[in-house]
Each structure stands twice: as C-alpha cells, then as structure tokens.
Structure 1
C-alpha cells in the first residue's frame, strides 16, 4: 500500500475520504472489509507523518492537512466500525436513542434528498456515501450531533435565504482573514525562544519565582491563542460554507453556525460542549463510549447500581474523550516536525478532563451541599465561572502552546496566510 499510494498528503486525503464513502455506500453492515482495511490506513498514516514537512511548506498548513487526514481515521472508526453506517439501513445500524425516537414518530430522515425514493442505483449509493463522509454534525437528521447552534436563538427554525447567507458569510470570511492577518503580523518571533522558554511552562512548582510580567504574558498568550484558534476555525468553516452554498451543492440549513454563544463558556464543560465547535463530538465520543462500555465493561443506564458507579462511568468516558483528542492533536504536532516528547497536547487535553471533574465537584459541594441547590444559574455566579475558566486555561494552555510558539522563529514556514494585507500596507508607508 505504501508503494502504491502517492505520498503527497492532499492526494491521500482525497483517497481516504473516497474510500470511506465507497465503503459506506457499497459494503454491508458487518463486512469483513471494514476492519481489514483499518490497519492498512493506520500504517500508511504512520508512514506519512515524517513526509508532511517535505510536501507542505508552512507549519500551519501542515496542521490543517494532517488534522484532516488523521481525523479521517477517527471518522473511519466511528462511521464504519462503531456506528456501522450503510446504505441498506440508510443510516447507522447502531442507532442513537434520538434516532430510535424519531423512527417511532415516523419523522423523515432528511439526510440526502432522495431518501424517500432512494432505490438501488449506484448514483444514489455514491451520494449517500458522500453525504455520510463529509458530515461531521449530521445536521437535519435524527443522528445530528448534540448542541449544534441554530441560526437564531429566538427562532430555532429560522434559516436565512441563500443570498443573505452568502452576503453575511462573505463579510464574516473577510473579517476572519483580516483578524488572522493582524494577529500574525503582531507576533515578534525573534523573542519567542525567550518568552516561551521550556522553563516557563510549569507554574505551581515554581510559583515563588513567577513574576507579574510572566503571569500577564501567560494569561494574554492564552487569550490570544484561543481568539486566533476561534477565528481560524471560523474562517475555514465559512470558506467551505460559501463554496458549498454558492455552487448549490448544499443549502444554508445544512451549514448552521459552528460556534455556540460565548455566554455558555463560564464552565470548562460549557466551553467545550456548548461554545466550541462540535465537529469532533461524534468521532471522539463514539470511541470513548466503546472503550468505557465494551473494553472496560462498565455498566450503563439502568444497570448502574450506585452513585459511585455513575461517577466512574461518567468520568471514564470523559477522560477518554479528551485523551483521544489529545493524542490526535499530539500526532498533528509530530507531523509539523515536533518531537513526541516536546508536544504538550495530550497533557493539555487530559487537564481539561481533570478541570471538569474539579468544577463538577466544586459545584456539587457549594451548590448542593452548602447552599441546598438554590443558587445554580444565578447571575452573580457566572462572572466567577468566567474567571475560573480564564485562570484554568491560562494555567493549562502553555503546556500545549509554548513548545510550538518557541519553535516559531519567523520565516515563510511559520506564516499562516498566503497573502498578508497588513504587511503590504506596512510596506507602503
């Protein structure tokens, strides 16, 4: 397989997506081909890792392409092995409770438009496979990911017209591009090895020597990193949406907003499940649940006997969701040329799981034990929650971000955009 496939990552990405689409469309549930092909894909991805730097000139572009390719492995596991998507059932064979309820209520599944008259034609199979392969949130179907934001919180059924969607999307894309440009041009890469030195990553173990200046750098670096991440993801998503809707491949209702309201990010759990994008939810939660319930054989649902078991099950699944995400991001940094021991991605995401456990425990003690549950959701509690999230992210983010910032010493390799408007305006002055 290594010798047959071209090494250029973008070509392999197309191949990998096409393979998933074909298997969804033409292989039945339980097909032996599905588990047999997965090890070959894993091996080829392992072979591909050190070659990204040879074919893609910019580190940020490597992160994008390798993230898409490595994410496809999780997609393969979720769609083909765990959920068992196939054309015969026109959905996953392992249905969610939401989907089962929809079936009982005889709700039409609006996946591809031809569901009602799908027939057995090759074209219909290919279209179904393409829809499954390119869907992360399964919008409009009974299998839709949780917490997908509506276009309007006041009217959840509102969908903009195509022209309004394209106009607003175009403005949003330009704004995102300019914000990314400003953030990139404001960086001073020559100072990065000192500002983000390895010795500055730990915090509590060296609390006595942490200066106010270093603390402020830690806080603001974390803030601007997450602003930059938000804008990059938003810009990428908006660009794809504009291409899909303007070419009439998709309709606006299938491109609902990617981020939820920032007002929900006053807990770490709310940050990840209500505010941040849900592109990864299915491909992370399905493997985590398989590990929790099938490999560790922990009880589920009515078979849970005690509060301790409920907590054990809940946090085991939570831990593996963030561990899998951490390993994915860790591997992306390896593709960018970072040594395995340098990356702090896995540590960061495991910290997020620990942070959620801490805040769950704190809320239980304070709200339920001390205050009798009467102050949950009170307006005065939200500012404290936002402060907690800010401080926890300021503590944890440098474990992941400082190593990559330290390696960013300027040059085309570390440029984000192909064309900088800000740089051209500076050059004219």
Structure 2
C-alpha cells in the first residue's frame, strides 16, 4: 500500500469519515457493527505505525489518543445510545425523553438556551455533527455543565465579529504561553526522578526546593494541558465561524470559570473540558447495569465515577505511550484512579459537615467554602499529579517535541 495511505493522520481521517457515516445505518444493522469493528481495526493500524511514522512526540501523543477515542466514542454512540439519523440523535435518550417529563423539561430548556439555526434534517450536517460535536451543542441531548459565554447572563451569545476577535486573542495568548514554556530549559533530572514522585511517605526528607518545584510543575503542567486541549477547538471555531459554516453559539468555551475550582467534583465535572463526557457516561452506565449495581445508591454513583476515571486512565496511558513512556512507567492510571477516591473522601466530609452542623446545602456556595475547597483541591493535585507528570517530563526532548514546529527555542535536543 502507498505510504500515504498508512500514514497515521490519513488513517485518522478515514476513521472520521467512517464515524460520520455510521449514524445513517439502522441500530440493528450488522453493517453498523461491522463499521465499528473497522474503526477498531484502523485504530490498531494507527497504533502500530505511529511510532515509526511520526517523530514529534507531542503530535504522536495526539494521534494515539484520537485513534483510540474515535472508536471508543463510536461504541458509546452507535452501540449503546443507538444514535441514528431517523431519530435525529441518540435513540435511547429520545425514548427517555418521551417517557419522562423531567427529561422533556430539560429538553425545552436546552432548546431555548442553545437553539442553533441549522438544517436539522440535513444528512450532510448530521454527518458533520457526528464527527465533530462531542458535546452535542444545541441539541436536546447536549451534555450538562457546558460553560457559558457569560456567567452573569447565561443567554448571552457574542456577535460574529466579537467572537472572532476574542477567539483570535485567545489563540495568541495560548501560543504565547506555550512558546514561553517550550523555551524553558528542562528541570534537573533529580527533581523528577522516580523516587521523588511520592510525597507522604517521604515528607520529612523533602526539601523546600523540591516542594516549590512540585507546586510550580503541577500548576504549569495543568496550564499546558488546558492550552493543548483548547488550541484545536479555537482554531476550528475561528475557521467555522469566519467562513459562515456555523454560528458562535455552536462554540461555547471548552473550560469553565476558575471560580469553579473549589472541589475535585467541580474540577472534573464543571471546570475541566467535557469532550468525552457523553462517551464515558454511556459506557460507565452500561458497565454499571452489567455489574447490577443498585440504582440510585452511593455504590452506583461512585461506581460509575470510578469506571469513568478508569477509562480515562486507559486513554491517557495510551497517550503516554505516544510520548514513548512505557505503560509500566506511566503513572496515568494511578493518577486517574486516585481522583475518584478523592471525590469519595470529599463527599463523605461534606455529608458529615452538613449532618453535624444541621445546615442545608446552599445554591450559592459561601466564599469561605470556596477558599477551603480550593486549598484542598490544590493540595490534593500537588500530591497526586507528579506520579503522572514526572515520567512525561523525563521523556521530553527539549526543543524537539513541540506542539508548534516553529516555536523552537534555544537549547539542545537532549
């Protein structure tokens, strides 16, 4: 086969094409199942060729994640939720909507807040949305907690010119921060050595320099993660809106407000991007039903959260492999499995607080609750993150593995 056909990005393009067409098959069709199986096969081909065909580890990481995320989402959309053109979306959720007043009300609210003027009956736009809309923006089954353009006015949607100006400014700042980060020399290897990853077991021997580095490294790493995730939607949003293919309402922010950073649950469920929320929710619900977890119980709720983070750990272990971090060295799985344990702990502490104090949960969280919650969130992530971040840093080639090939700073490639 010509080398261009087996190039990872070409194969990912093939995956997106197959993905966009599966929605036109009937849920019971064997063709649908065969197409999903084909996506998995193409994914395997990408994973077996990406190490040889792509040298830049940043792009290698992105390719490995996309190749896995596409068939994973296909399983959730087409085999679990039964998304199809006849139903206009997820058939399972359409059935729930017709049998539940609660869902019907939520449907109306979302239509009022996110209605987009596009031809819902168009096969072309249906196919495009299947391949590009992970948050199902502007549909009755839009995922929850999508960030708003304005916290003060939830109904606000910027004009086309304002949206393009703000998006261009965001792209500039993202590039600037990424460039500044890429031109910094890598830290002393001893600071990110394997033995420096745990903290509690060796807290007494940890130096002030090590603690300061741990705080700075965790903070900057999450900033870099945000930029890496945000940059591509910003580019696509600018092109789509500038060309008139879509409206600003179709491109709400990827991340929530910093004011939401006062608990692990808020961090992952409200602030952090939700591009895989629908996928993980569908698959975790399926797993919970298969395991016969008792519905509407703590075991069910926390079980589904644990399953979602487990899947995220698998996905990020694969992305680490794209960065040439061996799965045995990668701490992605440990990091993501620690998160639900932290959520369970904070849920227990909050429940005990409200029960012992006799107070009721308020819609508007008091400022002191947010301050205490932010400190807890920061301390938890500073403790938990290095097990995942430090191995990545040890494998970065300075001045080589950059998101932007033109943002090369001074320094060697060691």
Return the alpha-carbon distance in structure 2 between the equivalents of residues 106 and 202 of structure 1. 46
Task: Note the C-alpha offset of 1:15.
Answer: 0.6
SS of aligned partner of 2:174: helix
Alignment of 1:94-173 (within 5 A): 94-95=92-93, 97=96, 101=101, 113-115=118-120, 118=121, 124-173=122-171
Return the alpha-carbon distance in structure 2 between the equivalents of residues 273 and 22 of structure 1. 30
Aligned length: 402
Aligned to 1:392: 380
Is the contact made by 2:83 and 2:91 (CA closer than 8 Å) also made in structure 1?
Answer: yes
Task: Note the C-alpha offset of 1:51.
Answer: 2.1
Aligned to 2:5: 6
SS of aligned partner of 1:95: helix
Return the alpha-carbon distance in structure 2 between the equivalents of residues 230 and 79 of structure 1. 26
Task: Note the C-alpha offset of 1:34.
Answer: 2.4
Q: Does 1:331 align with 2:311?
A: no
Residue by residue over 1:265-301, the C-alpha shift from the partner in whole angstroms, topping out at 9 and shown as x without a partner, is 10000011111111111011110111011x1022335
Is the contact made by 1:218 and 1:398 (CA closer than 8 Å) also made in structure 2?
Answer: yes
Q: Does 1:299 align with 2:294?
A: yes
Alignment of 1:196-345 (within 5 A): 196-293=192-289, 295-301=290-296, 310-345=297-332
TM-score, normalised with respect to structure 1: 0.87
Is the contact made by 2:11 and 2:42 (CA closer than 8 Å) also made in structure 1?
Answer: no
Return the alpha-carbon distance in structure 2 between the equivalents of residues 88 and 286 of structure 1. 20
Is the contact made by 1:5 and 1:12 (CA closer than 8 Å) also made in structure 2?
Answer: no
Task: Note the C-alpha offset of 1:5.
Answer: 9.5
Gaps of 5+ in 1: 119-123, 302-309
Q: What is the Cα-based RMSD across aligned positions, in Å?
A: 2.5
Return the alpha-carbon distance in structure 1 between the equivalents of residues 87 and 115 of structure 2. 14
Is the contact made by 1:52 and 1:336 (CA closer than 8 Å) also made in structure 2?
Answer: no
Q: Does 1:405 align with 2:399?
A: no
Aligned to 1:306: none
Return the alpha-carbon distance in structure 2 between the equivalents of residues 76 and 169 of structure 1. 30
Return the alpha-carbon distance in structure 2 between the equivalents of residues 394 and 29 of structure 1. 45
Distance 1:30 1:373, change over 3 A: farther
Is the contact made by 1:192 and 1:409 (CA closer than 8 Å) also made in structure 2?
Answer: no
Task: Note the C-alpha offset of 1:234.
Answer: 2.3
Return the alpha-carbon distance in structure 1 between the equivalents of residues 206 and 260 of structure 2. 31
Aligned to 1:15: 14
